[in-house]
Every structure is written in C-alpha cells, then in structure tokens.
Chain A
C-alpha cells in the first residue's frame, strides 16, 4: 500500500554529501514503488521555497537559521507551525528523519509523534561516548528516539552504536545499507555498457577478458577523501613515502581537500615526490568515477566510518580496495575485493604491499568486481527494505512478522517502554517513555513534550485543519486504475482522523 512519506533532514542538495544523495536516491526509488515522497530541509543560499526534482520529488526549503556546517539552530518548537502546515498539506503519514547532527530531524520526529504520525529515523554516523560533544548529542538522540517507531542504521556496527546511544530495543533497529548507482561507477571499459555510458539493452554480456598486468607496469593507487584527521590523513602521510620507497612502479593520485592537505603537500615536498604523487584537489561527486578508473588500487585509511560508500564505489569501478578495519567497513565488501589493515602505519604499508603483489601476480579479477557489486548493492533493494519497515510500523505487516514471533503476544510492554505500539500515541504513554531518559533529563524532556502538545492544540485552534489546502500530487508516469480508489481511501481516512481529533 502506498504511503505519503516526508523525508526530513538538514542535509540535502544543493549541498553535496553522503546523507544528501542517500535521501535523494531512496526517495526516487520509493516514488518508483508508488509512494508519495516529499523532502523537507532548510533553505540554502539561492535555493528557497518549494522545488520539484526529477521524478516529481517535491522539496520544501524551509527558511531557518543555519548555525554550523549547515545544521540549523536547535530550537525545540519553532519548527512546529510550518512543519504541521506542510504535513497536513501533503497528507503525510510517515515522517522519516535522517542524520544525528541535524536538529531538523529531531524536531520533526518529536512533532510528528505529537501529531500522531509514524516516525522513522535513519542514522548515518558513528559517535563515541567519551567527549562532551558526544555526550550532549547522545542525550539529544535519546530524547528523540525515546518515542520513534523504527530506526534504520547503515551498518551493524552503526546499529550497535545507536542501540547503546539511545537505549533502544535492538528489534526496532533495522540495518539497511547504503547503495551505489552502479551505472555511475562503471569501470573504464566494460562490455555491459556502450561507449557513451548507457547500459546495453540485453542484461547479459560476454565474459570480460582479464586485464593482465605486467611486472613493470605502473600501478596507480587512488585516494579520494576529505583530508581530515578522522579520515586518516595522518596515516596516509606517513605511509606514502614508505610505499613509494618499497615499490618502484607505483604512483598515487590523491583527490580531496581539507585542513590536512597542507601536511600532505609538505610531506611531498620534503620527500620530493611530486612526480609520483598527483594531487587533484577537490573533485565533484560526478567526477569521482573518472578519477577512480585511472587507478588500480583504492586506498582508504579512514579512522572511523559507519558504512564507507566510497569503497563500494571504488570496487564498483573495478579497483582493488585497501582499507583500515574500523567501524562498519569490515561488513561492507567481501574478502576477495579488499585487503584490510589495522589503523597503523606499518600495517597499512604491509597491506598495500600485499595488494600490489596480488595485482602483479594477476590473482585478483578486478574486472568482475563491477557486476558483483551491482548484485550486492542497489537502491531498489534499499527502497524495498525500507518499504518493509514502513509496512511494519504502520501495521500492514503484523507485529509477529515484523518483530519476530513471540514479541507479538506481549502487548503489555509495548505501551510504556520499548517500541511504539499501535496504541501508543496517548500522551501519557509517550511521557512514560520520555521520563525514563534520566533523572533530570527525563523531567525536562517531559516538559518539552507537554509544551509541544499544548502548542499542537493551540495550532489546531489558531490554524484549523480545514483551512489548510491539500496539495495536488505530482502526476505519476504510470497510470493504473487503482490510483483513484486509493486516493479516495486516503481521503476517507483523513476524514475519520478529523472526526476523532
């Protein structure tokens, strides 16, 4: 059954990034599945108002004060009026927030639950527990996720982290990985595609001949990463001279910018490596593939990573991947595509040496990687799995099917703690969940929720639902007969909801 879904995040296009493209790809595929999806984000410079993207994806750019790294200023309630207006206008049923650092997400989930909507949260990043910033963020996350229907994490490590950070029931956290658009990350020459990059009509293509690498051919190692401390640039700086000294026919291509770029350049100058290390500076996401296909090995020295989409992209381009074994990275790619290293300089050098030796011995069939990655990760699959989550929380899938068999017959505990049940929109149940957040925090959170609820009632009084127009849907490409009936059904359910409130 189709749902009306609102994706909410501070991070969306035109800003480039992982969360941004995740939201876009997921929304597009969900629209293809027949759902209605809108995106709510804050206004970027030169990008305000309502926009339509490809496929009829409607984007609301809400004017809001941007505080730091395009995250909005965390006001608990000020987003509510316009959020309510958008949600009613679009007849939203499920609110899906993305990103821990986005205060829009947190506010939207809180307000959505106040308004009696289903809320889903997707976590894209890992957080520690030690420093003050993490403690604050974790408390905020705990507040928001105290009352959420389901949480999606991008890797199992991310799930463990989120479960610990927000004290969640592990069963209400799903692991749905990111994906890549395989067509955008195809190898340099691949028989599956024509010369201009479009996929050939016939799905099957001839087996690809193995590229044979001579013993003296130059091996190019590609690094594409923002040059930050947590991306392991220090490791890279330490390892590059040693790798180049050990292996004569090896070149580096480094793309990306950041505060560590200057250290990298200093290292190059000190060791006089300018002819063997090419620094490209920042590259756009569309150009990443063109850089990747110039190399044989992708080196990823990151220190923390929830999923690591870039290594999937590299493997899809037919690169052998050398990466540090941190965070969710070990789960992402099979062993024959990767060489893992500990986050240590010596081990990284050794692992790169191993990868070079394996390539020189022609033991790695990198030309097969693209098709294999294409089988592993696709946005279509992600959208289907996300759809199952929507089914589960909205009751289309029975609790037994969704949460496992014996979880279904325990109706007693779902009300006040753990996952949100069907009956749990009652304010007192929500307050019970928030109260458990901490001695002081619990009371504070309860206060916020009560105020939020009063605000909701006030808004119903000041700006009644009847006065808000319902937006017309974007005409779908495929016309099917049941669409009208479906819409009527939705109308009917809205009528009923109006009666109950």
Chain B
C-alpha cells in the first residue's frame, strides 16, 4: 500500500537536512539557513551557541516572537502565554532542561525519557522498514519465453474444442482424430522413453522420479480405471507431487546421499504402486527383464486397459446427459475449460530441481483441479455425441490431450528448448488453422484455414509480447512493505518420526 497522503519519512528522507519533507515542501516562508534539525536543537540554541540557554532571556523570547510573527501574527501573544503556562508544567520543564543535557532518545518503553511522547527520532524511525525485499525485475524476452507454456496449454485446449466441433458437426471422422492423436501419443512416448534412457545412462544429478512416478500413475490408472476418469488423473498429478515432496525431504541430507535417497524413494513409490505380482519378479530376477522394460510393459498394459475400459464405458457416457439441454452443456464445459486454463500448473517443472520443488510444495491449489475440470468438460461434451464410437474417440482423445500431453510438454521444455519452441509453433498453427477451418464455412476451406493460422500466430504473438510488456510496466506499482510488525515466520525443524 502506497502511503499517498502525507510524505513519509522513509529511509530516503532521512538524510534531508530540514526535518521531514513536508516541512520544507509546504512552508511558504523560507527556512533560516542556520536553523538546524528541529529535533536536535531549538532555534534559540542555534543563535546563542556560545551560551546555551539556561533560562529564556528576553532577547530570545522577542526573537521567538519575531519568528512567529512572520507567519501567524494574530496568535503570537496567545501562544506566548500558552508557552509560559506550559513552562510551568513539569513535563515541558523536563523538555527544556533536556535541551542542555541531550540524553539520546532510545527506542525503549521502560525508560523514562525526557522527550515528549510524540517525539519522532529521525534516525531510527522506520529504520527496519523494507520495501520490496524479494523484488526480482523481469526481463522482456525471458518473460515472453516463459509465456509460451501458457500459449501451449491454451492452444491444446482450443485444438481439443475444435476437434469436438468437427466431430459434432460430422465434418471429421472421429476415428481419424483419435488415430492421429494416438499416433502422436505413441511417438511422444517413444521420444520420452529415449530421453529417460539417456538420463538413466548418464549419471545425472537430476534423477528420474517424475517420469517414474508418471509411469506409476499410469499403473494406477489401469488399477482403478474402471472407477472414474477424473480421479485417475488426479492420482497421476498427486503422484508427481509426491515425488517432488519426497525429493524435498531428502534434500536436507548431504548431497551424495540425496540422490540415492530420491532413487530409493522412487523405488518405494514404484513398489508401492506396482501390482504385487510384478514386484517380486522385478526384484527377484533382474536378468529376466530390465526395470525399464518392465516399465514399458506395464505402460503398454495400462494403455490397453484404459482403451478397453473406455470402450466399455462409452455407451454409458453417451446417455449420461441426455436429460440436460445442450445450452447448459456448452456453458458448463466453457466454465470447466476456463477453470482448467486458470488453475493449470504452469510453474512446476518435470524434474524436481530443489528450488522448484519447494514452490510446488507450498502451493495451495492442487494441480489435479485443472485436470479434473478438463476431463469433466470433455466427458460432458462427449455425452452430446450421438454414436458410441464418437464418444469413445473423444474421451480417449481428451485423456491424451489433458492427461498425458502436459507431462510430455513439461519434459520437452526441460530437455530441449528448440523442441519446445517448435511444439509451440505447431500448436499455434494447429489451433489457428483449426479455428479457421471450423469457422470458415465457405467453399474455400484451405483459405480460411490459412487465414486462421495467420490470425492465430498474430494474436498469440501480440498476446505474449503485450502481456509481458504490461507485466513489466506494472512492476513499478509494486510496493511491498515489510517491517517488524509483520508476524514472524517460525522456523521449526520438524522431525519426521514425529509426524
């Protein structure tokens, strides 16, 4: 909060020679150059420096009166009388004597000080005030680069919606959509599997937990796929978070220990979430299947299970919202997609570097909210479709887009920046083109698609640049005030066996 009304004696004004700012800025009479700091010396002290005033001589009083006359002529006798009356009071007696023997003012309450209660010490007042202690100025291009994450997500949502509209208007074969999606997913999985392989091969400091945990979450997926879609991905997200927090806890140990401990925790997670049948096999006979092959196998298994579960569920989903009108469904899915975009976990990175993991740890909105919202939106949208095949395609596609694709995107950003930019470009083109094709109903579908691509690229570029510029511009309004009045943050070493 910016103190606007009165100029504040913050640290910058401490050095000001004439008291606080407001005195010099609002006083019409030019200040006498030889009058020193008002809280340190009174005017008469400055003039009669050789003989410090024991008692106010007549000359001093006259001079004071003169000084006073310059601004308020009428009240001068009054205030003089008031001063004399005040002099008789013991408090002001103290004050005038204190001018001779300057006891320094202390910021203490238990000492009886010879200063008035409203005395403000210019040197120590607000000395513990901190302004914007954690301010880190943004740069333009890094900010634009970071905003690509948001653009990617918005674009993937748009692509999904466009696919739905295409299926709904029967302009696109649902099987084509889901096949292309599945092909892309498999391709992404292969790429990602290779990255994981590279990482385990090179003894990297950043270990593998999130990938493993996401694999594990797929295991979980197949374990409980029958229950509900949204919960599954919640579990997926939770698992990712769990890996992060575990990494944090072990981060307290020495570094060499921490890597092993993380790996041990991930293996624990592994064993915990893997089916009990595969676990002893994995432990007992390492030569039969390498861990990675086992993982691949379980991934394939879970993928198949999801596939067939969805196939079985599609007729039910188809009739899910038959009694609800379409308008409510559009509004509801719009709302849910908005929730998805706003609460999506853009910040957390795939591998838990220790700085980012602390950020994810004290986050108060669960990442699963976003995924759940998206899956619910796609489910209600799918229930509008007339045939079982269409419902199945759309639901499977939504799992690919909202459940698996973000994992891959995060990882891609981490691994190769070029790939990330390329992916962003592809997504923007896809979204723009898709919107163009959907809206352009004329006989020139390719033209309108191209126009859509152009407009999409333009809009996303402008949004990225404009928003970044806006955010940087807003930084000058940042005024965070901290001081001794803030509640302290207790630092507690909590033993883990306690809780």
Contact = CB atoms under 8 A, between A and B. Distances in A.
A32 interface: no
A326 B484 contact: yes
Interface string A161-182: 1011101111111111100000
Contacts of B126: 160, 163-164
B1 A129 contact: yes
B118 A403 contact: yes
Interface stretch (B23-31, B150-158, B241-249, B328-336): B23-31
A333 B110 contact: yes
Among B85, B89, B110, the one with the most A-chain Cβ atoms within 10 Å of its Cβ is: B110
Contacts of B72: 409, 411
Given A169-B22, A417-B26, 14 more contacts: A129-B1, A161-B483, A167-B3, A171-B118, A173-B120, A267-B498, A328-B109, A376-B111, A395-B82, A409-B72, A410-B71, A411-B75, A413-B26, A417-B5
B310 to A, nearest CB: 43
B27 A174 contact: no
6 contacts: A156-B107, A160-B129, A307-B109, A324-B488, A397-B89, A405-B38
A466 B450 CA distance: 84
A161 B485 contact: yes
Interface stretch (A33-41, A96-104, A228-236): A228-236
A401 B1 contact: no
B491 interface: yes
A171 B1 contact: no
B38 A404 contact: yes
B86 A235 contact: no
A163 B491 contact: no
A384 to B, nearest CB: 8
B117 interface: yes
Contacts of A177: 109
Interface string A414-458: 000110000000000000010011100000000000000000000
A169 B6 contact: yes
Contact of B83 (A238, A334, A398, A406): A398
A306 B483 CA distance: 13
A380 interface: no
B195 interface: no
B8 interface: yes
A146 B481 contact: no
B487 interface: yes
Contact of A408 (B79, B91, B125, B484): B79
Nearest to A301: B490
Contact of A235 (B42, B83, B110, B492): B492
Contacts, number: 199
A128 B130 CA distance: 12
B485 A410 contact: no
Interface of B: 1, 3-6, 8-9, 19-20, 22-23, 26-29, 35, 38-39, 42-43, 67-68, 70-72, 75, 79, 82-83, 85-86, 89, 91-92, 107-111, 116-118, 120, 125-126, 128-129, 480-494, 498
B487 A128 contact: yes
Q: Interface on chain B toward A: helix, strand, loop, or mixed SS?
A: loop
A315 to B, nearest CB: 10
Contacts of B28: 412
Among A146, A160, A433, the one with the most B-chain Cβ atoms within 10 Å of its Cβ is: A160
Interface string A370-410: 00000011000000010011000001111111111111111
A277 to B, nearest CB: 16
Interface string A322-339: 001011100111100000
A401 B117 contact: no
Contacts of A160: 125-126, 128-129, 483-485
Given A324-B488, A399-B79, A410-B26, A135 B71 contact: no
A377 B27 contact: no
Top 8 A-B residue pairs of the complex, sorted by shortest distance between their CB atoms: A398-B82, A174-B117, A343-B488, A126-B485, A344-B491, A170-B120, A304-B487, A161-B485
Among A161, A344, A399, A406, the one with the most B-chain Cβ atoms within 10 Å of its Cβ is: A406
Contacts of A155: 109
B22 A156 contact: no
Interface residues of A, number: 85
A385 B117 contact: yes
A128 B6 contact: no
Contacts of B485: 126-128, 157-158, 160-161, 304, 306, 327
A274 B83 CA distance: 65
B479 to A, nearest CB: 9
A303 B487 contact: yes
A408 B5 contact: no
B86 A401 contact: yes
A460 interface: no
A270 interface: yes
B5 A167 contact: yes
Contact of A397 (B27, B68, B82, B110): B82
A230 B120 CA distance: 29
Contacts of B26: 410, 412-413, 417
A172 B1 CA distance: 21
Interface in A133-161: 135, 138, 142, 146, 150, 152, 155-158, 160-161
B117 A406 contact: no
Contact of B8 (A163, A173, A232, A433): A163
A130 interface: yes
Nearest to B497: A270
A346 interface: yes
A265 interface: no
A254 B434 CA distance: 68
A248 B487 CA distance: 33
A290 interface: no
Contact of A234 (B5, B70, B484, B490): B490
Nearest to B110: A376
A333 B110 CA distance: 6
A303 B490 CA distance: 7
B82 A129 contact: no
Contact of B38 (A126, A306, A406): A406
A40 B273 CA distance: 65
Given A327-B485, A343-B490, A344-B491, A402 B35 contact: no
Among B20, B485, B488, B498, the one with the most A-chain Cβ atoms within 10 Å of its Cβ is: B485
Interface string A67-92: 00000000000000000000000000
Contacts of B83: 398, 400-401
Nearest to A242: B493
A345 interface: yes
Contacts of A138: 1
B110 to A, nearest CB: 4
A174 B110 CA distance: 15
B23 A406 contact: yes
A142 B498 CA distance: 46
Contacts of B486: 126, 128, 130, 304
A167 B4 contact: yes
A332 B110 contact: yes
A171 B484 contact: no
A131 B120 CA distance: 28
Contact of A157 (B27, B42, B480, B484): B484
Contact of B493 (A238, A303, A395): A238
